[in-house]
Amino acid sequence: MTKLPIIIDTDPGIDDAMMLTLAFANDDALDVRLVTTCSGNISQNKTNYNARAFLSYIGADVEIARGLEKPIFRELEVAEDIHGESGFGNVQFPEPSLPVSERQAVTAMLETIMMSDEKMTIVATGPLTNVAALLLAHPEVKPKIERISWMGGAAVGGNMSPTAEFNAYVDPHAVEIVFRSGVPIVMSGLDVTHKAFVTPDEAKDILNIGTEFAEKAYHLVTYYLDVMKKTPFHEENYDQVLHFHDVCAVMYLLNPDIFKGQDCYVEVALEGTTAGTTVVDYTNRTGKTANVHVLHTVNREKFVKEFLKAVKIISDRLK
Q: State the catalytic residues.
A: 245
User: What is the rounded radius of gyration, in angstroms, for the C-alpha atoms of the chain?
Assistant: 18
Q: Where are the alpha helices (DSSP H) in the chain?
A: 14-25, 44-57, 80-83, 105-115, 129-137, 166-170, 172-179, 190-193, 200-207, 212-229, 247-254, 300-317
Tell me the angle at which helices 172-179 and 129-137 cross, rounded to the nearest 10 degrees.
50
Please give the Cα distance from 102 to 230 (Å, whole number): 41
Residue 143 phi/psi, 5-degree rounding, is -65, -15
Q: Minimal CA–CA distance to 222: which of 236, 234, 239?
A: 239
The angle formed by the CA atoms of residues 266, 267 and 271, to the nearest 5 degrees, is: 155
Q: Minimal CA–CA distance to 155: which of 270, 273, 283?
A: 283
Please give the Cα distance from 36 to 47 (Å, whole number): 10
Question: Are residues 102 and 73 in contact, defined by beta-carbon separation less than 8 angstroms?
Answer: no
Please give the Cα distance from 127 to 274 (Å, whole number): 17
